[in-house]
Protein backbone atom coordinates (compact mmCIF):
# COMPACT_ATOMS: atom_id res chain seq x y z
CA UNK A 1 0.00 0.00 0.00
CA UNK A 2 2.89 2.33 0.71
CA UNK A 3 4.91 1.09 -2.22
CA UNK A 4 7.43 -0.75 -0.09
CA UNK A 5 8.50 -4.17 -1.13
CA UNK A 6 7.40 -6.72 1.51
CA UNK A 7 10.66 -8.54 1.06
CA UNK A 8 12.52 -5.38 2.08
CA UNK A 9 10.36 -5.03 5.18
CA UNK A 10 11.01 -8.62 6.12
CA UNK A 11 14.72 -8.15 5.54
CA UNK A 12 14.79 -4.99 7.68
CA UNK A 13 12.76 -6.64 10.41
CA UNK A 14 15.04 -9.63 10.51
CA UNK A 15 18.17 -7.49 10.42
CA UNK A 16 17.15 -5.08 13.20
CA UNK A 17 15.35 -7.80 15.11
CA UNK A 18 18.54 -9.81 15.32
CA UNK A 19 20.47 -6.71 16.34
CA UNK A 20 17.95 -5.76 19.01
CA UNK A 21 17.85 -9.30 20.34
CA UNK A 22 21.66 -9.39 20.41
CA UNK A 23 21.83 -6.01 22.14
CA UNK A 24 19.31 -7.05 24.79
CA UNK A 25 21.16 -10.32 25.32
CA UNK A 26 24.44 -8.45 25.66
CA UNK A 27 22.91 -6.00 28.16
CA UNK A 28 21.42 -8.87 30.16
CA UNK A 29 24.71 -10.74 30.43
CA UNK A 30 26.54 -7.46 31.13
CA UNK A 31 24.11 -6.76 33.99
CA UNK A 32 24.68 -10.22 35.45
CA UNK A 33 28.47 -10.03 35.06
CA UNK A 34 28.57 -6.48 36.49
CA UNK A 35 26.58 -7.52 39.57
CA UNK A 36 28.73 -10.64 40.07
CA UNK A 37 31.98 -8.68 39.63
CA UNK A 38 30.81 -5.97 42.05
CA UNK A 39 30.02 -8.56 44.71
CA UNK A 40 33.36 -10.28 44.08
CA UNK A 41 35.30 -7.03 44.54
CA UNK A 42 33.30 -6.25 47.67
CA UNK A 43 33.99 -9.69 49.22
CA UNK A 44 37.69 -9.68 48.37
CA UNK A 45 38.25 -6.23 49.85
CA UNK A 46 36.24 -7.07 52.96
CA UNK A 47 38.34 -10.19 53.51
CA UNK A 48 41.45 -8.03 53.19
CA UNK A 49 39.93 -5.77 55.90
CA UNK A 50 40.03 -2.84 53.49
CA UNK A 51 38.22 0.36 54.42
CA UNK A 52 34.44 -0.16 54.17
CA UNK A 53 33.79 3.16 52.46
CA UNK A 54 36.39 2.57 49.75
CA UNK A 55 35.29 -1.06 49.39
CA UNK A 56 31.77 -0.06 48.42
CA UNK A 57 33.06 2.70 46.18
CA UNK A 58 35.37 0.41 44.19
CA UNK A 59 32.68 -2.28 43.92
CA UNK A 60 30.16 0.19 42.50
CA UNK A 61 32.71 1.72 40.13
CA UNK A 62 33.56 -1.75 38.75
CA UNK A 63 29.88 -2.52 38.20
CA UNK A 64 29.15 0.76 36.43
CA UNK A 65 32.25 0.49 34.23
CA UNK A 66 31.11 -2.89 32.87
CA UNK A 67 27.60 -1.56 32.18
CA UNK A 68 28.93 1.52 30.36
CA UNK A 69 31.21 -0.61 28.16
CA UNK A 70 28.28 -2.90 27.31
CA UNK A 71 26.09 0.08 26.41
CA UNK A 72 28.76 1.52 24.12
CA UNK A 73 29.12 -1.87 22.44
CA UNK A 74 25.37 -1.96 21.79
CA UNK A 75 25.44 1.50 20.26
CA UNK A 76 28.23 0.37 17.95
CA UNK A 77 26.05 -2.53 16.73
CA UNK A 78 23.40 -0.05 15.57
CA UNK A 79 25.92 2.09 13.73
CA UNK A 80 26.25 4.86 16.31
CA UNK A 81 29.72 6.37 16.24
CA UNK A 82 30.96 5.68 19.73
CA UNK A 83 33.99 7.93 19.26
CA UNK A 84 31.79 11.01 18.96
CA UNK A 85 29.65 9.72 21.82
CA UNK A 86 32.74 9.33 23.96
CA UNK A 87 33.76 12.88 23.08
CA UNK A 88 30.37 14.16 24.24
CA UNK A 89 30.70 12.21 27.48
CA UNK A 90 34.19 13.62 27.96
CA UNK A 91 32.99 17.19 27.41
CA UNK A 92 30.07 16.64 29.78
CA UNK A 93 32.43 15.12 32.33
CA UNK A 94 34.71 18.16 32.09
CA UNK A 95 31.79 20.51 32.63
CA UNK A 96 30.55 18.52 35.60
CA UNK A 97 34.08 18.34 36.99
CA UNK A 98 34.47 22.11 36.83
CA UNK A 99 31.07 22.60 38.46
CA UNK A 100 31.92 20.11 41.20
CA UNK A 101 35.51 21.20 41.71
CA UNK A 102 35.09 21.69 45.46
CA UNK A 103 33.29 18.38 45.83
CA UNK A 104 35.97 16.55 43.85
CA UNK A 105 38.71 18.10 45.98
CA UNK A 106 36.89 16.86 49.09
CA UNK A 107 36.65 13.42 47.48
CA UNK A 108 40.36 13.36 46.63
CA UNK A 109 41.25 14.49 50.14
CA UNK A 110 38.97 11.81 51.60
CA UNK A 111 40.71 9.13 49.57
CA UNK A 112 44.11 10.38 50.77
CA UNK A 113 42.93 10.37 54.39
CA UNK A 114 41.72 6.79 54.02
CA UNK A 115 44.97 5.69 52.36
CA UNK A 116 47.55 7.43 54.57
CA UNK A 117 45.44 7.30 57.77
CA UNK A 118 46.85 10.21 59.81
CA UNK A 119 44.05 9.40 62.25
CA UNK A 120 41.39 6.74 62.77
CA UNK A 121 37.92 6.61 64.23
CA UNK A 122 38.14 7.15 68.00
CA UNK A 123 41.27 9.34 67.89
CA UNK A 124 41.20 12.84 69.38
CA UNK A 125 42.40 15.17 66.64
CA UNK A 126 42.86 18.89 66.15
CA UNK A 127 42.49 20.00 62.53
CA UNK A 128 41.02 22.99 60.75
CA UNK A 129 40.70 24.80 64.09
CA UNK A 130 38.56 22.03 65.66
CA UNK A 131 39.55 19.59 68.38
CA UNK A 132 37.40 16.55 69.01
CA UNK A 133 37.01 12.79 68.73
CA UNK A 134 36.72 11.36 65.23
CA UNK A 135 33.40 9.53 64.86
CA UNK A 136 33.23 9.07 61.07
CA UNK A 137 35.57 9.36 58.09
CA UNK A 138 33.60 9.60 54.85
CA UNK A 139 34.75 10.21 51.29
CA UNK A 140 33.70 13.87 51.39
CA UNK A 141 33.54 14.83 55.07
CA UNK A 142 34.91 13.92 58.50
CA UNK A 143 32.81 14.10 61.67
CA UNK A 144 34.16 15.47 64.98
CA UNK A 145 32.51 15.24 68.41
CA UNK A 146 33.90 17.82 70.85
CA UNK A 147 34.26 17.28 74.63
CA UNK A 148 31.25 19.57 75.25
CA UNK A 149 29.14 17.30 73.01
CA UNK A 150 29.05 19.38 69.83
CA UNK A 151 29.27 17.76 66.41
CA UNK A 152 31.27 19.24 63.53
CA UNK A 153 31.12 17.90 59.98
CA UNK A 154 34.21 19.23 58.18
CA UNK A 155 35.00 18.97 54.44
CA UNK A 156 37.99 16.69 53.91
CA UNK A 157 39.86 19.24 51.79
CA UNK A 158 40.07 21.57 54.82
CA UNK A 159 41.57 18.76 56.90
CA UNK A 160 44.05 17.17 54.51
CA UNK A 161 45.35 20.56 53.33
CA UNK A 162 46.09 21.78 56.87
CA UNK A 163 48.17 20.76 59.87
CA UNK A 164 46.74 17.73 61.67
CA UNK A 165 47.46 17.10 65.36
CA UNK A 166 46.60 13.58 66.48
CA UNK A 167 46.43 14.07 70.24
CA UNK A 168 45.88 10.40 71.11
CA UNK A 169 48.29 8.85 68.60
CA UNK A 170 50.88 7.90 71.26
CA UNK A 171 49.93 5.82 74.31
CA UNK A 172 51.58 8.29 76.72
CA UNK A 173 51.61 12.08 77.08
CA UNK A 174 53.48 14.63 79.15
CA UNK A 175 51.67 16.94 81.54
CA UNK A 176 53.26 20.41 81.79
CA UNK A 177 52.26 22.61 84.74
CA UNK A 178 53.91 26.03 85.04
CA UNK A 179 54.22 27.76 88.40
CA UNK A 180 55.99 30.86 89.72
CA UNK A 181 57.89 30.93 93.02
CA UNK A 182 58.66 33.96 95.17
CA UNK A 183 62.06 35.56 94.52
CA UNK A 184 62.82 35.23 98.23
CA UNK A 185 62.62 31.43 98.07
CA UNK A 186 65.81 29.41 97.76
CA UNK A 187 66.27 27.86 94.30
CA UNK A 188 67.35 24.45 95.56
CA UNK A 189 64.58 24.37 98.16
CA UNK A 190 62.00 25.25 95.51
CA UNK A 191 63.25 22.46 93.28
CA UNK A 192 63.07 19.95 96.13
CA UNK A 193 59.49 20.98 96.95
CA UNK A 194 58.41 20.63 93.31
CA UNK A 195 60.12 17.24 93.02
CA UNK A 196 58.19 16.08 96.06
CA UNK A 197 54.98 17.35 94.50
CA UNK A 198 55.67 15.52 91.23
CA UNK A 199 56.44 12.30 93.06
CA UNK A 200 53.07 12.44 94.86
CA UNK A 201 50.92 12.78 91.72
CA UNK A 202 48.58 9.78 91.38
CA UNK A 203 48.34 8.22 87.92
CA UNK A 204 51.80 9.28 86.76
CA UNK A 205 54.27 6.83 85.21
CA UNK A 206 57.91 6.48 86.24
CA UNK A 207 59.39 6.07 82.75
CA UNK A 208 60.11 8.75 81.65
CA UNK A 209 60.74 10.17 85.08
CA UNK A 210 59.19 13.50 86.21
CA UNK A 211 61.24 16.58 85.46
CA UNK A 212 61.45 19.93 87.23
CA UNK A 213 62.51 22.57 84.72
CA UNK A 214 63.69 26.07 85.64
CA UNK A 215 62.22 28.21 82.88
CA UNK A 216 63.17 31.82 83.51
CA UNK A 217 63.44 34.74 85.91
CA UNK A 218 60.13 36.41 85.28
CA UNK A 219 58.98 39.90 86.06
CA UNK A 220 57.38 38.93 89.37
CA UNK A 221 58.52 35.36 90.04
CA UNK A 222 61.02 32.62 89.39
CA UNK A 223 59.21 30.50 86.81
CA UNK A 224 59.26 26.70 86.99
CA UNK A 225 57.61 23.94 85.03
CA UNK A 226 56.65 20.56 86.47
CA UNK A 227 56.65 17.83 83.81
CA UNK A 228 54.96 14.52 84.57
CA UNK A 229 54.28 11.64 82.16
CA UNK A 230 51.07 9.63 82.13
CA UNK A 231 48.87 7.39 80.00
CA UNK A 232 47.07 9.36 77.30
CA UNK A 233 43.63 8.33 78.56
CA UNK A 234 44.42 9.73 82.04
CA UNK A 235 45.85 13.06 80.83
CA UNK A 236 43.31 15.47 82.33
CA UNK A 237 43.05 13.59 85.63
CA UNK A 238 46.83 13.68 86.03
CA UNK A 239 46.91 17.33 84.97
CA UNK A 240 44.51 18.33 87.75
CA UNK A 241 46.33 16.13 90.27
CA UNK A 242 49.64 17.78 89.35
CA UNK A 243 48.26 21.30 89.83
CA UNK A 244 46.81 20.27 93.19
CA UNK A 245 50.04 18.63 94.37
CA UNK A 246 52.16 21.65 93.40
CA UNK A 247 49.89 24.08 95.25
CA UNK A 248 49.71 21.95 98.40
CA UNK A 249 53.47 21.32 98.62
CA UNK A 250 54.37 24.97 98.03
CA UNK A 251 51.88 26.08 100.67
CA UNK A 252 53.27 23.50 103.10
CA UNK A 253 56.83 24.73 102.48
CA UNK A 254 55.84 28.38 102.88
CA UNK A 255 56.86 29.29 99.31
CA UNK A 256 54.66 32.02 97.93
CA UNK A 257 53.25 32.06 94.41
CA UNK A 258 53.40 35.76 93.56
CA UNK A 259 51.04 37.54 91.20
CA UNK A 260 52.06 40.30 88.79
CA UNK A 261 52.54 43.59 90.62
CA UNK A 262 53.90 47.06 89.94
CA UNK A 263 56.01 49.26 92.20
CA UNK A 264 55.30 52.98 91.76
CA UNK A 265 57.98 55.51 92.83
CA UNK A 266 57.11 59.19 93.16
CA UNK A 267 59.79 61.83 92.81
CA UNK A 268 59.44 64.89 94.99
CA UNK A 269 57.40 65.62 98.08
CA UNK A 270 53.69 65.07 98.37
CA UNK A 271 51.81 68.09 99.65
CA UNK A 272 48.75 67.56 101.75
CA UNK A 273 45.60 69.55 101.01
Do 123 and 44 share a structural domain?
no
Query: Which of 69, 99, 129 is the C-terminal boundary of a domain?
Result: 99
* Structural domain includes residue 217: yes
Mark 174-201 as b/e (b = at least 16 C-beta within 10 Å): ebebebbbeeebeeeebeebbeebbeeb
Do 199 and 149 share a structural domain?
no
Burial class (CB in 10 A: 0-12, 13-18, 19+), 227: middle
Q: Taking 90 as the threshold, does the pLDDT of residue 242 lie above it?
A: yes
- Provide the pLDDT for residue 268: 65
Do 203 and 159 share a structural domain?
no
Do 196 and 161 share a structural domain?
no
Overall average pLDDT of the 73-96 stretch: 63
Q: Taking 60 as the threshold, does the pLDDT of residue 9 lie above it?
A: no
| 0.75 surpassed by pTM | no
Closest among 60, 53, 14 to 141, alpha carbons compared: 53
Overall average pLDDT of the 125-143 stretch: 91
| Residue 245 contacts residue 175 (beta carbons within 8 Å) | no
* Structural domain includes residue 158: yes
| Residue 177 contacts residue 243 (beta carbons within 8 Å) | yes
**In degrees to the nearest 10, what's the CA dihedral of 48, 52, 57, 58?**
0
* Structural domain includes residue 34: yes
Q: How many domains does the chain have?
A: 3
Instruction: Report the alpha-carbon distance of residue 181 to residue 108 in Å, rounded.
Output: 53
Instruction: Report the alpha-carbon distance of residue 7 to residue 172 in Å, rounded.
Output: 88
* Structural domain includes residue 109: no
* Structural domain includes residue 210: yes
- In terms of residue numbers, what domain contains 219? 172-253
Q: Tens of pLDDT along 101-121?
A: 667 788 888 888 888 889 988
State the number of CA atoms in the 13 A half-sphere of 142 facing the CB: 33
- Provide the pLDDT for residue 1: 46
Amino acid sequence: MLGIDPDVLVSLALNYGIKIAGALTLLFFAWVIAAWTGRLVNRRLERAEFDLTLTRFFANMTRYAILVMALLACLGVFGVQTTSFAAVIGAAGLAVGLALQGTLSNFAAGVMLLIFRPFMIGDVVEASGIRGKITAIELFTTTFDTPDNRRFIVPNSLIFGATIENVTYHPTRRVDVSVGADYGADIDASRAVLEKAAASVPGRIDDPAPQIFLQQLGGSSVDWQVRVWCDTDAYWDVYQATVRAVKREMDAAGIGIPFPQMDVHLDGTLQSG
